[in-house]
Amino acid sequence: MNLCHGVQDSKITFFRTNKDTHVAAPNARSQCLNPDNDVPDLTGKTIFITGGTNGLGAESVILFAKHKPAHIYISGRNAKTAEKTIQRVRDAGSSTEVTFVECNLASLVSVKQAGKLFAAFTTRLDILICSAGIMAQTPGLTTDGYEIQFGANHLGHALLIKKLLPLLENRQGEDGDRRIVILTSQGARIHPSGGILFDNLRTVQNDFFVGGPIITISIHPGVVSTGLVDNLGFLDRALIYSTSVGRMLKPEQGAYNQVWAATAPREEIQNWLYYEPVGELAQSRLKKLETDDGLAGRLWDWTEEALEGF
Ligand SMILES: NC(=O)c1ccc[n+]([C@@H]2O[C@H](COP(=O)([O-])OP(=O)(O)OC[C@H]3O[C@@H](n4cnc5c(N)ncnc54)[C@H](OP(=O)(O)O)[C@@H]3O)[C@@H](O)[C@H]2O)c1
């Protein structure tokens, strides 16, 4: 696969070379996104962004706020960085309200409380962006005893989606455009044989979909110089920077794919599938286990069981 891209100011162009042989879906776009012009008017919409306190989530807040949604809710653990994001929106002169909802995705009780709090704030939700995530952290467990990355990235989000789904479903009969955008990573390709070590999920080790009219897609943002990368140890950082020479994106540019996914015309998006930056259907690039129905079904059942009682 030869996916090339060029970066020019606030516009990113991605294009394939002639050698690229993967099958392009009918509506696959190798495209540019200019968020100022290409994102539609979002008047009246309510958006919830996990990880809106920092990195790509925060950059998405800034990009969305320019298009006048009624309210953006941001979740995370850090009230101070949340305040910085809110201040950036105010400084840009936007009238969009931004509210911080404290939520630690590594604690199912915290996620449950955040879901309740959000439902007390509003009955309307149009766009849910699951942007929060951790990578290559010191080995550890969540407060519920799950491996920290699996617990926060997958299980915490799975519970949050479960809690917020009724609000998305509420929108029936009104403007029917409702979306869930899930940040994933090409890093998922570095998986153990078998994909998920179900027997070890409660030990320290060195995607959830819904049906119906809600569009649910997962996206890779590109390799982006946010805290996720810049706070890594020297060797991990060196590996990422050296393998991404000329491809490293600025945080604002890294938010383009999720902003595209949340706002592009519905007919340009294929439900359930996976997109690389910007708006390029990349399902055919996934490895066998990443599209294995048996493994997905097993993860679904495991997740349902783990969330019983929450
Ligand atoms: N940057 C890249 O190159 C890259 C590449 C591929 C995929 N991604 C994916 O893109 C997403 C965003 O990454 P990023 O670059 O924006 O990372 P980042 O700059 O490190 O920001 C991570 C965000 O996640 C939140 N978060 C972390 N742990 C949390 C927890 N336990 N509970 C609740 N929120 C938590 C943080 O908020 P608080 O600190 O307030 O909790 C922060 O807002 C991630 O899912 C990542 O896997 C990034």
**Three-state SS sequence of 125-184:** CCEEEECCCCCCCCCCECCCCCEHHHHHHHHHHHHHHHHHHHHHHCCCCCCCCCEEEEEC
Distance between Cα 18 and ligand 1 center (Å) = 34
Determine the distance separating the centroid of ligand 1 and the alpha carbon of 76, expressed in angstroms. 9
> Contact 67/92 with Cβ under 8 angstroms?
no
CB of 46 closer than 6 angstroms to any ligand 1 atom: no
Among protein residues, the one with the nearest Cα to ligand 1's atom 44 is 133
Q: Given this model, what pLDDT does residue 172 score?
A: 59
| pLDDT for the residue numbered 97 | 98
**Backbone angle region of 246, left / alpha / beta, with phi > 0 → left and psi within -120 to 50 → alpha:** left
Three-state secondary structure call for residue 102: strand
Whether 3 is covered by a domain: the verdict is: no
pLDDT at 23: 28
Torsion sign, CA atoms 131, 47, 67, 88? negative
Cβ of 129 closer than 6 Å to ligand 1, yes or no, is no
Coil, helix or strand at residue 50:
strand
Using alpha carbons, select from 166, 163, 47, 38 the residue that is nearest to residue 96: 47
The answer to whether the CB of 195 is under 6 A from ligand 1 is no
State if residue 60 touches ligand 1 by the CB under 6 angstroms criterion: no
Q: Whose CA is nearest to atom 24 of ligand 1?
A: 132
Position 300 in a domain: yes
Predicted pLDDT of residue 302 = 97
229 lines ligand 1 (CB under 6 A): yes
- The enclosing domain of 175 has a CATH number of 3.40.50.720
Residue 48: strand, helix, or coil = strand
Distinct helix (H) and strand (E) counts, the chain:
11, 11
Question: Is cis: bond before 89, omega within 30 of 0?
Answer: no
User: What are the per-10-residue average pLDDT scores of the chain (310 residues)?
Assistant: 30 30 36 89 97 98 98 98 98 97 98 97 96 91 96 98 94 78 92 87 63 84 96 94 94 96 93 94 94 95 96
What pLDDT, on the 0 to 100 scale, is given for residue 8? 33
For residue 59, the ligand 1 atom closest to its alpha carbon is 16
Question: From the CA of 194, how far away is ligand 1's center (Å)?
Answer: 26
Structural domains counted in the chain: 1
Question: 227 alpha carbon to ligand 1 midpoint, in Å?
Answer: 8
Query: In this structure, how many other beta carbons lie within 10 angstroms of the beta carbon of residue 203?
Result: 12
**Residue 222 and residue 12: Cα distance in Å, rounded?**
11
Decide: 195 and 275 in contact? Cβ < 8 Å. Answer: no
The pLDDT value given to residue 139: 87
Structural domain contains residue 173: yes
Considering the domain boundaries, does residue 243 fall inside one?
A: no
CA of 74 to the centre of ligand 1 (A): 13
Residue of 5, 7, 54 to mutate, ligand 1, most atoms within 8 A of C-beta: 54
Quote the ligand 1 centre to 131 CA distance (angstroms): 6
Ligand 1 centre to CA of 33 (Å) is 22
Domain contains 234? no
In this prediction, residue 239 carries a pLDDT of 94
Supply the pLDDT for residue 21. Answer: 25
Q: Is the CB of 107 under 6 A from ligand 1?
A: no
Asked, for residue 141, whether it belongs to a domain, the answer is yes
Look up the pTM and report it.
0.85
Q: Which helix (H) or strand (E) holds 119?
A: helix 108-121
236 is a domain residue: no
- Residue 302: domain span: 35-222+252-306
**Which residues, 6 or more positions from 9, have their beta carbon under 8 angstroms from its beta carbon?**
none
Beta-bridge partners for 218? 182, 274
Dist. CA 173 → ligand 1 center (Å): 34
Residue 31, pLDDT score: 61
Assess if residue 11 is contained within a domain: no
Q: Which amino acid is residue 252, in one-letter code? A: E
